[in-house]
Amino acid sequence: MPFKVLIIGGAGGMGRWCAGLFKNAGHDVYISSRRDASGVARSLGVGLASPQDAGDFDVVVLSVPMDVLEEVASDAAPRMRPGSLLMDLSSLKVKPLEAMLRHAPPGVEVIGTHPLFGPQSDFSGRTIVLVPTKRSVRWLPIIRPLFEEAGLNVLEATAERHDMNMAVVQGLTHFMYVAMGRALEKSQVNMEEASLFKTPVYGITKEMLGRVLSQSPELYALIQSSEHAREMRRAFIEACIELNSELEEGRLEDFIRDFKSAATYYGDTGGARERSERIIRDYGA
């Protein structure tokens, strides 16, 4: 049965993606935005509404930056009617879910989501994380199939498990690339000259560096805000200092030992080498 959906922040990239997903599933979709979103609404074929209209909707999705999510939730959630659902699309889950549960009245259900892809991606076969709460009994069996029927792989997790793994998957990965970019900048590396000497691994790494640096620095800064991400950054910096000391002091045997230790911890390095060969072949095509 179709239901009414309001996407707050629906003019942004992920908001537009979410609007399209619900609309394609046959639901009655509206978006709101702090800027004029009439053109976006027309292009998507959806309606316009305001957060103050949240009580008129079955589902309200918060597609807003994490640093304003609580402010938006405190405005929209108390207006929602019992039996409706409040969701978000945030890259972290512990604090956003705490805020939504705090502001949603009794009888309003809450589910966290995190699409593990960007709005420009072909999302078929991609993963979206669903974080149920103690208040999601009615809506979870409705929302999960909706995502699955759209071609998404659904992974259910607790907020803590999600944020702990995102500290590695996003926090550490982004930090490594931004640090590499700053090192190249500080060293005044001639990027065009270096590319003349590129190995396949450097070429792919350089492209991934550019991909990360093309994203929103504001979003990536907020992703670094979790305690788990702080712990991963500390571990990364400590590892860099340790390895650098071994090389600076000529302790090559210690560097080799730590190299082998990291490889053992990683596990299937042989399989990774084979899989990455396919990436290299595609890159060179």
Same structural domain, 85 and 211: no
- Residue ending a domain, among 138, 157, 176, is 157
Same structural domain, 184 and 199: yes
Same structural domain, 127 and 211: no
Same structural domain, 121 and 35: yes
The pLDDT averaged over each successive group of 10 residues in the chain (285 residues) is 95 96 97 94 96 97 97 98 98 97 98 94 91 97 97 98 98 98 98 95 96 96 96 98 98 98 98 93 75
Strands 127-131 and 109-115, how do they pair? antiparallel
Q: Are 62 and 89 in contact (CB under 8 A)?
A: yes
Buried residues in 220-255 as b, exposed as e (16+ CB within 10 A): bebbbebebbeebbeeeeeeeeeeeebeeeeeeeeb
Using CA atoms, how far residue 274 sits from 49, 173, 203, 253, in Å, is: 51, 21, 18, 28
Same structural domain, 136 and 236: no
Same structural domain, 102 and 45: yes
Q: Specify the pLDDT at position 258.
A: 98
Q: In DSSP terms, which residues pair with 112 in a beta bridge?
A: 88, 131
Q: Specify the pLDDT at position 285.
A: 52
Same structural domain, 137 and 172: no
The helix-helix angle for 66-76 and 94-103 (nearest 10°) equals 10
Q: In DSSP terms, which residues pair with 29 in a beta bridge?
A: 5
Same structural domain, 55 and 109: yes
26: Cβ–Cβ under 8 A, 6 or more apart, which residues?
2
The C-alpha atoms of residue 99 and residue 87 are separated, in whole angstroms, by: 11
Same structural domain, 73 and 143: yes
Residue type for position 235? A
Instruction: State the CATH number of the domain containing residue 71.
Output: 3.40.50.720
Same structural domain, 14 and 119: yes
Taking the alpha carbons of 277, 279, 283, 285 in that order, is the dihedral positive or negative? positive
Same structural domain, 29 and 133: yes
Tally of CB atoms within 10 A around 56: 16
Q: Please give the residue range of the domain that contains residue 244.
A: 161-284
Q: Specify the pLDDT at position 267.
A: 97
Q: What's the domain count of the chain? A: 2
- Residue ending a domain, among 91, 125, 157, is 157
Taking the alpha carbons of 271, 273, 277, 278 in that order, is the dihedral positive or negative? positive
- Residue ending a domain, among 132, 157, 182, is 157
Same structural domain, 24 and 152: yes
Q: Among the residues of 57-196, which ranges form H helices?
A: 66-76, 94-103, 140-149, 159-166, 173-186, 191-196
